[in-house]
Chains A and B, each alone.
Chain A
Amino acid sequence: SQQGEEDPQALSIQEGENATMNCSYKTSINNLQWYRQNSGRGLVHLILIRSNEREKHSGRLRVTLDTSKKSSSLLITASRAADTASYFCATDSGNTGKLIFGQGTTLQVKP
């Protein structure tokens, strides 16, 4: 079974609004990563948060991590139509080489 589960599965908002996506996972991790996938393309890395970090920012992205609840959230502020994509969390348990992905959240930002 997959490590990460994301919520909601789909999200539709207006341009300028904030979008929040949540990810829950099952086992202990070294770090958690978020990726973006535009329709028909490969995934692109957005941001990585280590298990000893609680919050991280990158431009309009804010990621939080709560290891006690085994959950993470991705906030995209002031969304744009170009943010329309699917977003995936992925967990890395350490030097195993494995990166396990969740099912993803499909975000639609309406102009």
Chain B
Amino acid sequence: NAGVTQTPKFQVLKTGQSMTLQCAQDMNHEYMSWYRQDPGMGLRLIHYSVGAGITDQGEVPNGYNVSRSTTEDFPLRLLSAAPSQTSVYFCASRRPGLATEQYFGPGTRLTVT
């Protein structure tokens, strides 16, 4: 199993550009989440999904869109990038139910200039 994969690994955007961060998992996990990590801020939840067709907002959803058309994929869209979105983005997945561990992807380092 590849686990959780993310592409690209690195990305530089100009302010106002849009892009999609890709995330896929091959473990048949229903739950998937996107986090951003900034120095001194830990991980903050952007959006999450409990299954195909179901998404919800996390702690910092503004400026990001998600959709979940399949169990495997959970892309994160930046509609109009801003310098404040410079961060490292992590996708994660886990089985549904109580007390399940989360598996993380390797991250995407995004810089917005």
Q: Give chain A's interface residues, CB within 8 Å of chain B.
A: 1-2, 4, 6, 9, 30-31, 33, 35, 41-45, 48, 50, 88, 90, 92, 94-104
Contact = CB atoms under 8 A, between A and B. Distances in A.
Interface residues of B, number: 30
Given A1-B59, A100-B45, 6 more contacts: A42-B106, A44-B104, A90-B102, A98-B33, A99-B92, A104-B42
B96 interface: yes
Interface on chain B toward A: helix, strand, loop, or mixed SS?
A: strand
A72 B78 CA distance: 36
A83 to B, nearest CB: 19
A63 to B, nearest CB: 13
Contacts of B96: 95, 97
Contact of A95 (B42, B43, B97): B97
B2 interface: no
